[in-house]
Structures are given as structure tokens and as C-alpha cells.
Amino acid sequence: MSPESDAAAAAVAAVENVADRIETEREHLTDLDSAIGDADHGGNMARGWQAAAEAVTDLDSPTVEAVVKTAGKTLLSEVGGASGPLYGGSLVFASAELSDGLTAESAVAFAETYLEKVQDRGDAKVGDKTMIDALVPAVHTFKKSVETDDLPPLDALAKAVAAAEHGVAFTVPIRAAKGRASYLGWRSVGHQDPGATSTLYIMEELLATAADHLDQVVPSVDATSPTIPDGEATEE
């Protein structure tokens, strides 16, 4: 199996694993969304990812880009409400960053583009109590871990997941400023955001799949920097 085919097979496995995880967590996501939303996040996400898993499995000799784009298109058509464009449409757009294959550099570009499109589509920022609260720290940590700290991609992804965990926890004590949860005003405080939570689940499965693909143990890391910042360095 060529490296390209091997990476594509791992991408298919990742979509399948995400589908299984979201189905397992369906009830929990529904409970979270029942508290501050319309109680459909668990069902919509489970249905969409199951359809995405079936779609990518049917691809003939796929590339990583094709797997991601197919998953995104399926989510866009199968997931109702705002989640379809946010999760699916953003995947479709960001998949172009993987046209030359999956590398540490293309993974960073993909993550940044995905984040940018989610922010554009949802018009949300950190602190609004949305999936952005998990995505921003994850993407920033992944980029720094790869480009500044020169960590192996698996370690960088593990640190990104740890950062996303902090982001999910951050959504609990803050007031929602976007989406249906914002209609609750101060009553939204004390509840975990379902979108941030499902984003964490997706990232955890990407990490587990990558570790399995590389025949490695998931690194035990946190989101803190492994280096002391250089006071004389200029910000890029």
C-alpha cells in the first residue's frame, strides 16, 4: 500500500470511528442540548456522521482530500440546523488544503482553514459559548506545537485535544452569546456547550485513529508549552 493510500485508509477509519463515538455519545449530547438548545444535536450529529461513514466507505481508491470532502458534503446534506454548514460545509472548504496529501504542514493549513470557515459561517468568537471555544485553543495549540515547538504530529495532535478539553470546560461558567442558548441569557450559565463537546469527541477520535494508524500509544501530554518563550523573538 502506498503512503497516499495508507493515509486515505486512515482517514476512512477516522470517519468511521467518529461516527461510532458520536452514536455512543448521542444521548449525552442530547441531554446537553436539551438544557440550552433544542435537543437535536445528538440525533442530528449521529445521523450525519453515520451517513458520512457509509459514504466514505463506498469511495473507490480515495485520497485523503476526497475522504474529507465526501464526509463534509454528507454532513452538509444530512445534518439539520446550523450544524450542517458549520461542521460539513467547513470540512468541504478546508479539504482543499489536503490536495497534495497529508503532512504536518497540510494538517496545520487544514485546521486553520476549517477554523476560519466555522468562524465565518457562525459569526462566533471565543467566549460566545459555542464550538469555537474548543476549536480555537485546539488549532492554536496544534499550529504552535508543529511550527514553533517542532513536535511530532501525534504529540501536537494530543496537545490540541488537551487544549480542546480546556475549551469545553470553559463553556460551562460563561453566558451564551450565540445560538439558541443565547436566548436563555444568564440561565445558560452552568451548562456545557454541546457543540464544543461534540467537537472534542471528534478530535479525540482523530487522535486515537492516528495513534492506531502509527502503531503508537496516545501521548500523555497537556496543553502547556514545552519551551520558554524567547523574549527577543518577534511575533510572526
Per-residue pLDDT of the chain (236 residues; tens, 9 = 90+): 677 888 999 999 999 999 999 999 999 999 999 999 999 999 999 999 999 999 999 999 999 999 999 999 999 999 977 889 999 999 999 999 999 999 999 999 999 999 999 999 999 999 999 999 999 999 999 999 999 999 999 999 999 999 999 999 999 999 999 989 999 999 999 999 999 999 999 999 999 999 999 999 999 998 887 765 655 555 55
105 found inside a domain? yes
Take residue 198 and report the three cell numbers written for it.
461534540
- Output the pLDDT for position 4: 80
CATH number of domain containing 109: 1.25.40.340
Q: Do 90 and 72 touch, CB atoms closer than 8 A?
A: yes
What is the pTM assigned to this prediction?
0.93
Domain that includes residue 47, residue range: 3-214
> What's the pLDDT at 229?
60
**Within-domain flag for 229:** no
| pLDDT (0 to 100) of residue 231 | 55
Torsion of the alpha carbons at 115, 117, 118 and 122, rounded to the nearest 10: 140
Q: Is residue 233 part of a domain?
A: no
Rg of the chain's alpha carbons, rounded to an integer? 17
**Residue 7: its pLDDT value, please?**
94
Within 10 angstroms of residue 233's Cβ, the number of other Cβ atoms is 8
Provide DSSP, 136-184: HHHHHHHHHHHHTS---HHHHHHHHHHHHHHHHHHHTTS---STGGGGG
**What's the pLDDT at 3?**
75
Q: Is the residue at 226 inside a domain?
A: no
Residue 131 lies in a domain: yes
Residue 109 lies in a domain: yes
Q: Provide the 3-class DSSP secondary structure of residue 191.
A: coil
The confidence score (pLDDT) of residue 117 equals 96
CA-CA distance, 86 to 79, in Å (whole number)? 10
Domain count across the chain: 1
> What is the rounded distance in angstroms from the CA atom of residue 17 to the CA atom of residue 53?
8
Q: Is residue 228 part of a domain?
A: no
Residue 92 forms part of a structural domain: yes
